[in-house]
Amino acid sequence: MTEIFAYTDGACSGNPGPGGWGALLVAVRDGARVKERELSGGEPATTNNRMELMAAIQALEALGRPAKVTVVTDSAYVKGGITSWMKGWKRNGWKTASRQPVKNEDLWRRLDAAQARHDVTWKWVKGHAGHPENERADALARAGMAPFKPQGADKPPRPARARRPRKPAGASGG
Protein backbone atom coordinates (compact mmCIF):
# COMPACT_ATOMS: atom_id res chain seq x y z
CA MET A 1 0.00 0.00 0.00
CA THR A 2 1.19 3.51 -0.81
CA GLU A 3 1.49 5.96 2.07
CA ILE A 4 1.71 9.71 1.61
CA PHE A 5 3.88 11.95 3.77
CA ALA A 6 2.95 15.64 3.59
CA TYR A 7 5.65 17.94 4.95
CA THR A 8 4.12 21.39 5.46
CA ASP A 9 5.29 24.83 6.51
CA GLY A 10 4.22 28.44 6.53
CA ALA A 11 6.22 31.65 6.54
CA CYS A 12 5.39 35.30 7.09
CA SER A 13 7.44 38.49 6.81
CA GLY A 14 5.94 40.44 9.64
CA ASN A 15 2.91 39.08 11.42
CA PRO A 16 0.73 40.20 9.71
CA GLY A 17 2.53 40.75 6.46
CA PRO A 18 3.27 39.00 3.18
CA GLY A 19 3.23 35.25 3.67
CA GLY A 20 3.72 31.93 1.95
CA TRP A 21 3.00 28.26 2.42
CA GLY A 22 4.80 25.20 1.15
CA ALA A 23 4.20 21.47 1.06
CA LEU A 24 6.29 18.53 -0.04
CA LEU A 25 4.22 15.43 -0.82
CA VAL A 26 6.15 12.16 -0.79
CA ALA A 27 4.57 8.86 -1.84
CA VAL A 28 6.20 5.81 -0.26
CA ARG A 29 5.57 2.20 -1.30
CA ASP A 30 7.33 -0.75 0.33
CA GLY A 31 9.70 1.64 2.10
CA ALA A 32 10.83 3.39 -1.09
CA ARG A 33 9.97 6.85 -2.37
CA VAL A 34 8.03 6.46 -5.58
CA LYS A 35 6.89 10.03 -6.24
CA GLU A 36 7.34 13.58 -4.96
CA ARG A 37 5.34 16.73 -5.57
CA GLU A 38 6.03 20.27 -4.41
CA LEU A 39 3.33 22.86 -3.76
CA SER A 40 3.60 26.51 -2.76
CA GLY A 41 1.69 29.76 -2.77
CA GLY A 42 1.30 32.97 -0.87
CA GLU A 43 -0.75 36.01 0.02
CA PRO A 44 0.08 39.71 0.26
CA ALA A 45 -1.31 40.23 3.78
CA THR A 46 -1.68 37.32 6.18
CA THR A 47 -0.32 35.74 9.37
CA ASN A 48 2.08 32.91 10.04
CA ASN A 49 -0.69 30.76 11.55
CA ARG A 50 -2.87 31.19 8.46
CA MET A 51 0.02 30.12 6.23
CA GLU A 52 0.73 27.07 8.42
CA LEU A 53 -2.94 26.09 8.10
CA MET A 54 -2.98 26.75 4.35
CA ALA A 55 0.05 24.49 3.83
CA ALA A 56 -1.75 21.55 5.46
CA ILE A 57 -5.00 22.32 3.62
CA GLN A 58 -3.33 22.53 0.22
CA ALA A 59 -1.39 19.31 0.83
CA LEU A 60 -4.53 17.35 1.69
CA GLU A 61 -6.67 18.96 -1.04
CA ALA A 62 -4.02 18.17 -3.67
CA LEU A 63 -4.51 14.42 -3.19
CA GLY A 64 -6.81 13.13 -5.92
CA ARG A 65 -8.28 10.25 -3.94
CA PRO A 66 -8.53 9.19 -0.31
CA ALA A 67 -5.19 8.06 1.08
CA LYS A 68 -3.30 7.12 4.22
CA VAL A 69 -1.47 10.38 4.99
CA THR A 70 1.01 11.49 7.62
CA VAL A 71 1.04 15.28 7.83
CA VAL A 72 4.34 16.50 9.28
CA THR A 73 4.27 20.07 10.59
CA ASP A 74 6.49 22.23 12.76
CA SER A 75 3.41 24.17 13.91
CA ALA A 76 2.18 23.28 17.39
CA TYR A 77 -0.81 25.52 16.55
CA VAL A 78 -1.87 23.34 13.61
CA LYS A 79 -1.22 20.02 15.35
CA GLY A 80 -2.87 21.10 18.60
CA GLY A 81 -5.85 22.58 16.83
CA ILE A 82 -6.61 19.62 14.60
CA THR A 83 -5.90 16.87 17.15
CA SER A 84 -7.12 18.43 20.41
CA TRP A 85 -8.91 21.76 20.34
CA MET A 86 -11.22 21.34 17.33
CA LYS A 87 -13.60 18.92 19.07
CA GLY A 88 -14.31 21.54 21.75
CA TRP A 89 -14.62 24.36 19.22
CA LYS A 90 -17.24 22.42 17.28
CA ARG A 91 -19.11 21.50 20.46
CA ASN A 92 -19.08 25.20 21.49
CA GLY A 93 -20.32 26.47 18.11
CA TRP A 94 -16.81 27.44 16.94
CA LYS A 95 -16.06 29.33 20.14
CA THR A 96 -13.05 28.87 22.39
CA ALA A 97 -13.33 27.72 26.00
CA SER A 98 -13.49 31.42 26.94
CA ARG A 99 -16.44 31.86 24.51
CA GLN A 100 -14.38 33.88 22.02
CA PRO A 101 -14.67 33.22 18.27
CA VAL A 102 -12.05 30.77 17.02
CA LYS A 103 -9.35 32.63 15.09
CA ASN A 104 -8.98 31.45 11.48
CA GLU A 105 -12.28 29.57 11.69
CA ASP A 106 -12.60 29.61 7.89
CA LEU A 107 -9.32 27.72 7.49
CA TRP A 108 -9.97 25.35 10.40
CA ARG A 109 -13.28 24.34 8.80
CA ARG A 110 -11.55 23.83 5.47
CA LEU A 111 -8.79 21.74 7.07
CA ASP A 112 -11.39 19.65 8.89
CA ALA A 113 -13.17 18.93 5.58
CA ALA A 114 -9.87 18.18 3.80
CA GLN A 115 -8.72 15.68 6.43
CA ALA A 116 -12.12 13.94 6.54
CA ARG A 117 -11.42 12.41 3.10
CA HIS A 118 -8.26 10.69 4.30
CA ASP A 119 -6.84 8.49 7.05
CA VAL A 120 -4.60 11.18 8.58
CA THR A 121 -1.91 10.96 11.24
CA TRP A 122 -0.52 14.27 12.49
CA LYS A 123 3.15 14.54 13.48
CA TRP A 124 4.99 17.53 14.93
CA VAL A 125 8.70 18.12 14.28
CA LYS A 126 10.93 20.88 15.59
CA GLY A 127 11.33 23.55 12.92
CA HIS A 128 14.72 24.62 11.57
CA ALA A 129 16.36 21.59 13.18
CA GLY A 130 17.91 20.02 10.09
CA HIS A 131 14.96 17.80 9.09
CA PRO A 132 15.50 17.73 5.28
CA GLU A 133 11.87 17.49 4.20
CA ASN A 134 10.76 20.13 6.70
CA GLU A 135 13.56 22.40 5.49
CA ARG A 136 12.34 21.87 1.91
CA ALA A 137 8.78 22.78 2.92
CA ASP A 138 10.18 25.92 4.58
CA ALA A 139 12.04 26.85 1.37
CA LEU A 140 8.82 26.34 -0.62
CA ALA A 141 6.92 28.57 1.84
CA ARG A 142 9.54 31.31 1.51
CA ALA A 143 9.39 30.97 -2.30
CA GLY A 144 5.60 31.29 -2.14
CA MET A 145 5.97 34.48 -0.12
CA ALA A 146 8.63 36.04 -2.36
CA PRO A 147 6.33 37.63 -4.98
CA PHE A 148 4.47 39.52 -2.25
CA LYS A 149 7.52 40.98 -0.51
CA PRO A 150 8.79 44.44 -1.46
CA GLN A 151 11.89 44.40 -3.67
CA GLY A 152 15.04 44.09 -1.62
CA ALA A 153 13.18 43.18 1.57
CA ASP A 154 15.57 40.26 2.14
CA LYS A 155 18.67 42.41 1.92
CA PRO A 156 20.13 43.68 5.18
CA PRO A 157 20.09 47.46 5.61
CA ARG A 158 23.16 49.27 4.39
CA PRO A 159 25.44 50.35 7.20
CA ALA A 160 25.66 54.09 7.67
CA ARG A 161 28.90 55.62 6.47
CA ALA A 162 31.17 56.80 9.22
CA ARG A 163 31.75 60.53 9.19
CA ARG A 164 34.55 62.46 10.74
CA PRO A 165 33.42 64.80 13.47
CA ARG A 166 33.23 68.38 12.28
CA LYS A 167 35.38 70.96 13.92
CA PRO A 168 33.41 73.65 15.69
CA ALA A 169 33.43 77.00 13.90
CA GLY A 170 36.42 79.06 14.86
CA ALA A 171 38.49 76.12 16.09
CA SER A 172 42.02 76.10 14.89
CA GLY A 173 44.04 73.06 14.27
CA GLY A 174 47.24 73.53 16.07
pLDDT in tens, 34-85: 999 999 999 999 999 999 999 999 999 999 999 999 999 999 999 999 999 9
Q: Any binding-site annotation on 135?
A: no
Does residue 91 lie in a domain region? yes
Q: Any binding-site annotation on 30?
A: no
Number of separate domains in the chain: 1
- The model's pTM is 0.85
CATH of the domain at 61: 3.30.420.10
Who has greater pLDDT, 129 or 141?
141
Does residue 116 lie in a domain region? yes
Q: Any binding-site annotation on 74?
A: yes
Quick one: how far is CA 169 from the chain centroid? 58
119 a catalytic residue: no
- What confidence score (pLDDT) does residue 108 get? 99
Candidate list 19, 52, 81, 144, residue with the active-site label: 52
